[in-house]
Amino acid sequence: MFDTQKSVLQEVHLGFINKTNKKLFIKRDDLIDEFVSGNKWRKLKYNIKHAIQRKNKGIITFGGAYSNHLLATAAACDHYGLKSIGIVRGEELTINSNELLNKCNSFGMEFLFVGRSEYARRSESIILEYYKSEFPNYYLVPEGGANYYGLIGCQEILFETGFDFDRVFIAQGTTATSCGILTSLKNGMRLSAVPVLKGYDALGEMKKLLTYSGFEEDWVDNLLNLVDVHNESHFGGYGKYDASLLQFMERFYKDTSIPLDPIYTGKMIHALHEYCLATSEIHEKILVIHTGGIAGGMEISKKEGYVFS
């Protein structure tokens, strides 16, 4: 087991927080583990448990060239004596294309590098059946760990916080983490979801995953009324960022000593900043979930000449 007690709850004092009548706490899931960091362990925990119960040889899953999910899967499988296979977007890639893929390989992960059009079909049942028949002894986990087991693992995050908050901020990719948080909110709390993709139908995607996971449709609609979507901090879309975001993250790091990544958590804190300025009259106690993303994000930041550590 990876130790979630390392994920401390930290109060953060920042000029824009104090000025806008807010109190800010950060749940440091990024401290859980160097490689199985942030929401990765939350989403993998019950998938790994399930694979072990099924007596599978290993896990097969999907990711991009800088996928923190691939790295976490490789490290967690290695830890539990399972094998791992990563289906990676980009047929031009190799094990040595970047440090992250190299690290995955050092944890024993094997790769299938596939073209973008094949990768785009990763959720189609015909493709999933193909991979299942090619690797019959492996448990197949969707990209980002976004399934029922991923969702219930993420429900455990708030249980470690005492629930004494008005609002929770979370970065959103597949929505598994935000769905886990949403289904564990207590009375009076709201969820601020920050999609990192441009033009993303956040509520529609959450509804899909929640109903697919067995939650009743009318209850799902009630829950989705508790969500505020912050659609303006995507910086052009998934994996896109600019110098202003990197400078914002650098300022945040100087003020708090908390590293962010430009793919997820940097954009989420940016949306938090904008939200606080727009609601400066409202007194609120806000909880931010630091979902990690440090390894892949650091590699990108380093390439751009920024080092947050």
61: contact with ligand PLP by CB under 6 A: no
How far apart CA 12 and CA 276 sit, in angstroms, is: 14
Which CB sits closer to ligand PLP, 56 or 61?
61
Is 293 an interacting residue with respect to ligand PLP (CB under 6 A)?
yes
**Integer-rounded Cα radius of gyration of the chain:** 19
Euclidean distance between CA atoms 89 and 46, whole angstroms: 25
| From 73-81, 92-100, 216-224, 290-298, span contacting ligand PLP (CB under 6 A) | 290-298
CB 49 within 8 A of CB 150: no
Q: Which of residues 162-221 bind ligand PLP (CB under 6 A)?
A: 171-178
- Hey, how many other C-beta atoms are within 10 angstroms of the C-beta on 100? 23
Closest CA to 167 of 294, 14, 287, 263: 287
Which one of residues 4, 7, 39, 61 is an interface residue with ligand PLP (CB under 6 A)?
39
What letter represents residue 115's amino acid? G
| Cβ-based neighbours of 75, under 8 Å, separated by 6 or more | 33, 35, 36, 107
Considering beta carbons, is residue 20 or 202 the nearer one to ligand PLP? 202
The CA-based angle 42-234-70, given to 5 degrees, is 35
Nearer to ligand PLP, 58 or 266 (CB): 266
Nearer to ligand PLP, 41 or 264 (CB): 264
Number of shown-chain residues binding ligand PLP (CB under 6 A):
19
Distance, in Å, from the CA atom of 228 to the CA atom of 273, rounded to the nearest integer, reads 15
Complex with ligand PLP: residue 70 or 82, whichever CB lies closer: 70
Q: Which is nearer to ligand PLP, 56 or 291 (CB)?
A: 291
Residues 246-275 that bind ligand PLP (CB under 6 A): 264-265
Given the complex with ligand PLP, which of 22 and 290 has the nearer CB atom?
290
**Which residue from 291, 295, 301, 308 is in contact with ligand PLP, where contact means CB under 6 A?**
291
C-alpha to C-alpha distance for 58 and 187, rounded to whole angstroms: 40
Q: How far apart are CA 164 and CA 126, in angstroms?
A: 45
Q: Tokens for 160?
A: 């470690």
Q: How far is the CB of 136 from ligand PLP (least distance, A)?
A: 27
Of all residues in this chain, which one has the CB nearest to ligand PLP in the complex?
A: 293
How far is the C-alpha of 34 from the C-alpha of 100, rounded, in Å? 12
**What is the distance between the alpha carbons of residues 73 and 86, in angstroms, rounded to a whole number?**
9
Binding mask 104-133 for ligand PLP (x = CB under 6 A): ------------------------------
Find the binding residues for ligand PLP in span 65-84 (CB under 6 A). 68-69
The answer to whether residue 152 forms part of the interface with ligand PLP (CB under 6 A) is no
Interface positions with ligand PLP (CB under 6 A): 38-39, 68-69, 144, 146, 171-178, 264-265, 291-293
